[in-house]
Amino acid sequence: MDQISRVGVFIAVVKAQSFAGAARSLGITSSAVSKQVQNLEQDLQVKLLNRTTRNVSVTEEGAVYYEGAARALEDLQEAQEQIYELKSRPRGPLKISFPLSLGNKYFGQAIASFAAQYPEVDLDVSLDERFVDIVNEGFDLAVRIGSLKDTSLVARRMASCPFVICASAGYLETHGTPQTPGDLADHNVLAFTGNSGLHEWRYQDATGQIGQVSLRGNFKADSGEILCSAALQGVGIAILPVFYVAKHLKTRKLQAVLPDYVTSPKRDIYAVFQPNRFQSTRLRLFVDHLVSTSKQLPWES
């Protein structure tokens, strides 16, 4: 057995915390596992494991070696996958997360077309409004909406996502059309309760000046869809991401309010994924597919 294989055996022992557990996962005998770890220790001239009759634990040197070796083997595996994918069709698992409404409204067909084009990619699509933990929940990619903050993840911009202030013609005829941000304080502004933010609007005017106004309203929901429906029914003024209201603005069922002001900070749609030196071809192709699809979004084209 070569040294790389011995490293794999050592990593299996650390993960299983026993020689027997590693042997079961590798399909070899416990004595073979013990022998390969001994050979690796002889090669390195350092003790990697503390052995007792009941358990196995890493030494200080073993812990350092494990971190570097495990990372190196992952890189080798990713490189092998890339070579395979270059020689054949992309294959393997791809777990992705989309905001529920955005995914349903504008990306369902695009995801399906990707699946049809690359049938050997095992897609696992999750549509949810919650903020998923990419690393700990095992996602390869998440689509997120917001202003990009400092992060250890890689983010590729897909499209803009402006927030639109709008209301039905009936509401504006009855209650008047706000002319300045301060006028919103006298209106029933629908409140989104899906985050912990205050019921207020932060905006930027044409000169770049930032301001904010406190809002009031008698209709609250943690769903943008419900808030959009309430606005269509003339309940009040809504402040929503453009993908909820784009088609209603086009048909004039909703009318934009305060068009000379923009919500601050600016929001965009991003594809977010972990920073690996070797990105799988399937992930790269999927991100490219999303970016291409985003160019056809109504508010982009």
Q: Where are the domains of the chain?
A: 3-86, 89-160+267-294, 163-263
Residue 46 Cα distances to 41, 239, 252, angstroms: 5, 63, 74
Across the range 60-82, mean pLDDT stands at 83
**Would you state the pLDDT for residue 150?**
58
Other CB atoms within a 10 A radius of the CB of residue 88 amount to 10
The pLDDT tens digits of the residues spanning 104-113 come to 999 999 999 9
Does this chain's domain 89-160+267-294 share its CATH topology with 163-263? yes
Distance CA 272, CA 78 (A): 19
**Would you state the pLDDT for residue 130?**
82
Across the range 169-175, mean pLDDT stands at 96
Those residues whose C-beta lies under 8 Å from the C-beta of residue 272, and which sit 6 or more positions away, are 134, 141, 142, 143, 144, 151, 153, 154, 155, 156
Architecture of the domain spanning 163-263: 3-Layer(aba) Sandwich (3.40)
Closest CA to 159 of 265, 298, 301, 295: 295
Across the range 55-77, mean pLDDT stands at 86
pLDDT value at 277 more than 60: no
What is the Cα Rg of the chain in Å?
A: 27
Closest CA to 215 of 186, 256, 236: 186
Confidence of residue 90 (pLDDT cuts 50, 70, 90): confident
Distance CA 34, CA 29 (A): 9
Confidence of residue 138 (pLDDT cuts 50, 70, 90): confident
Distance CA 181, CA 193 (A): 21
Other CB atoms within a 10 A radius of the CB of residue 80 amount to 11
Q: Which residue has the higher pLDDT, 246 or 69?
A: 246
Distance CA 123, CA 238 (A): 35
**Would you state the pLDDT for residue 262?**
94
User: Is the domain 3-86 a CATH 3.30.70.380 member?
Assistant: no
The H-assigned helical ranges of the chain are 3-16, 19-26, 30-44, 60-87, 100-102, 108-117, 169-175, 224-232, 242-250, 281-294
Across the range 126-145, mean pLDDT stands at 88
| CA-based end-to-end distance of the chain | 58
The pLDDT tens digits of the residues spanning 218-264 come to 999 999 999 999 999 999 999 999 999 999 999 999 999 999 999 99
Other CB atoms within a 10 A radius of the CB of residue 291 amount to 15
Across the range 264-273, mean pLDDT stands at 93
Distance CA 100, CA 143 (A): 10
Distance CA 90, CA 82 (A): 9
DSSP conformation class of 142 = E
Closest CA to 266 of 148, 153, 103: 148
**Would you state the pLDDT for residue 5?**
84
99: helix, coil or strand? coil
With a pLDDT cut of 90, the percent of the chain lying above it is 57
With a pLDDT cut of 70, the percent of the chain lying above it is 95
Residue found by looking up tokens 């400092």 in the block: 150
Distance CA 111, CA 29 (A): 45
Distance CA 180, CA 174 (A): 18
Residue 210 Cα distances to 155, 191, 197, 206, 242, angstroms: 26, 21, 18, 10, 21
pLDDT value at 267 more than 60: yes
Ranges 170-184, 204-218, 264-278: which has the least confidence = 264-278
Across the range 18-41, mean pLDDT stands at 89
pLDDT value at 137 more than 60: yes
pTM of the model: 0.68
What is the separation of C-alpha 149 from the centre of its chain, rounded to a whole number of angstroms? 13
CATH code for the domain defined by 89-160+267-294: 3.40.190.10
pLDDT value at 180 more than 80: yes
